[in-house]
Amino acid sequence: MIHARLLSGCLLLLASVSASAWEYTLVAPDKPVQNWSISSDRLGLRDGLAFAVGVHRLSGGRQEGSVLIEIDTGAMQLTVVATRGMNVLRAQAGTLRLGWDSPVREVVNPAFVNLESRNGLGWLEGFNELVARAGFEWVGHPGMDRGQLLTLHGRASYLPASQVVLTIDEQPPHRISLKGVLHEEAFKQANFRIDTELVTHAGATGFTLHDRLTNQGAHTAEYQVLYHSNFGPPLLGEGSRFAAPVREVSPFDARARQELGEWQAYRAPTPGYGETVYNLYPWGDDQGRSLAVLHDHSAHQGVALAFNVRELPVFTLWKHTDAKAQGYVTGLEPGTSFSYNRSQQRALGLVPRIEAGGTRDFTLDYRLLATAAEVRQALEQVEGIRHGRPTKMREAPLAQEP
C-alpha cells in the first residue's frame, strides 16, 4: 500500500513494505530533491536506540546540485553521495574517523568533471571519498585499449543515482538500508545496471556495501570493478601497518619494487614522495572470505575490511604518503582487477565477462576498530584465514606500463 507523507516540507513516497518497516523514496526521476530528515524520535521509537537520516542538496561552486544522504546510527555518522555513484564520503565514530583530507574540498557534481581531461585523469578532479567505486566497464590507469581511450577508473564514481530508497526496520536494532540504482549505458557499448545497497543499524560502528551488476545487453560483455577504500589520519601515520592473509605480493612498477621489503609499513608525510602501489592476491577461508586490516602505530585503533575472494579475487594496496597538502592517504582496494590499464590485464586473466542477462554480486563489510582489543581480534582473524600459508614475494611487476 502506497501513501504520501509530508515531512519537513518535502513530499516523499512512503510505502509500507511490511508491518515492521518504513520505506521512503528519496530520489526518483522528475522528483526534485529537497532537504529532509527523519529520526527515531519522530518515528515514535522509544527503545533507547536513537538514529537519524537526512538528505541535503548542496549549492555553490562545483558542488552545486550534489546530494548528500547522512546517516547517524547514534554511534557513527556516515555520508553517502547520491550524485556520485552512491559513494561513501566519510564515516566517523567519536574521535575515530574513516576517510582522508583530499585537496579536493568540495563534493563535486559530475556535471563539472570531464573524465577525459588531463590525459584521462579527470577522475581525480572530484576524488575525495572514503569509498569510491571504480568500474564497471573498466578500471585502471588511463590509456588506449582496442582503439578506445579508457579514462582513469571508469565512470561509476560519476554516475548519479536515478533512484534512492531508504528503508528503516521498526524492530530493534532498526536496520537501515539505503538502496541506489546506477546506469552505465551507451549505444553499442555497455548496458549495465548497478543496484547498490548500504546497510547499517542503530548503534552500529560499521556498515556493509552490497552491489549487484546486471548486464542488460544482448551480448556477453567485459566488466571490471575495484573498491577504492581510502584512509588518512588518525589511522594513517608513521608506523601504521597493513595486514592481510596474502598469497602473493608484487610491486606495481619499478618504483614500488625499490620498497618491496616494507610494503606493509607506512611513512610519515614525506614531501615529494608520490606513491607506491602493490598487487596482492589474498587468501580466503573455506567460504572465500578474506580480511584486510589497517591500524595505527600503537595498534590501538584501526579499520577492518572484509570481502570475498570469489567475488573480488585481487587487492591493490595504494600508499600515497606525500605531504599532507598533496593528500596523505592509503587505499585498500579489493577488486576483480588491478590498476593497470585494461589492455594489460587480459593476459593476467583479470578482465572477467558477464553473460547477457547475467548478474554479479559484490559484498564488502567495513568495521571500525576503536580499541586495542578490537585491533588484536581482527589481526587474529587475519592469521586464522592465513592458516600458516606462506606469502610469495614476486620482485617483478606483473605488467609494464606503456
In a domain, residue 59? The reply is: yes
In a domain, residue 401? The reply is: no
In a domain, residue 398? The reply is: no
Contact 16, 4 (CB under 8 A): no
Q: Which three cell numbers stand for residue 295?
A: 591500524
Contact 368, 238 (CB under 8 A): no
Q: What share of the chain is helix, strand, coil (3-state, %, to 5)?
A: 10, 45, 45
DSSP string covering 219-269, please? Answer: S-EE-EEEEEEEE-TTTSSTT-EEE--EEEEEESSHHHHTTGGGTTB-PPP
User: What is the model's pLDDT at position 30?
Assistant: 83
User: What is the model's pLDDT at position 32?
Assistant: 85
In a domain, residue 402? The reply is: no
Average pLDDT in the chain? 94
Strands 2-7, 131-136: parallel, antiparallel or unpaired by DSSP?
Answer: unpaired
If one counts every other C-beta atom within 10 angstroms of the C-beta of residue 34, the result is: 15
Q: Which three cell numbers stand for residue 96?
A: 575515530
What does the buried/exposed string (b/e) look like for 110-138 if buried means 16 or more CB atoms within 10 Å of the residue's CB? beebebeeeebbbbbbbbbbbbbbbbbbb
Instruction: Please enumerate in sequence order all residues whose Cβ is within 8 A of that of 260, keeping only pairs 6 or more positions apart, or say none.
Output: 249, 251, 278, 393, 395
> What is the tally of structural domains in the chain?
1
Say what the pTM is. Answer: 0.94
Name the residue range of residue 31's domain: 2-393
User: What is the model's pLDDT at position 400?
Assistant: 78
Say how far apart CA 136 and CA 192 lie, in whole Å.
8
Burial class (CB in 10 A: 0-12, 13-18, 19+), 272: exposed
Q: Which three cell numbers stand for residue 180?
A: 541506489
Instruction: Categorize the per-residue pLDDT at 350 as very low, low, confident or very high, splitting at 50, 70 and 90.
Output: very high
Q: Which helix (H) or strand (E) holds 64?
A: none
Contact 41, 70 (CB under 8 A): no
User: What is the model's pLDDT at position 17?
Assistant: 44
In a domain, residue 207? The reply is: yes
Q: Determine the 3-state secondary structure of 386 from DSSP.
A: helix
In a domain, residue 354? The reply is: yes
User: What is the model's pLDDT at position 114?
Assistant: 96
Rounded average pLDDT over 142-154: 96
Specify the CATH number for the domain of residue 218: 2.70.98.10
Instruction: Categorize the per-residue pLDDT at 147 as very low, low, confident or very high, splitting at 50, 70 and 90.
Output: very high
Rounded average pLDDT over 33-54: 94
Instruction: Categorize the per-residue pLDDT at 34 as very low, low, confident or very high, splitting at 50, 70 and 90.
Output: confident
Contact 205, 75 (CB under 8 A): yes
304-323 pLDDT per residue, tens:
999 999 999 999 999 999 99
> Which of 262, 229, 192, 218 has its CA nearest to residue 368?
229
In a domain, residue 356? The reply is: yes
Q: Determine the 3-state secondary structure of 167 from DSSP.
A: strand
In a domain, residue 400? The reply is: no
Q: Determine the 3-state secondary structure of 383 from DSSP.
A: helix
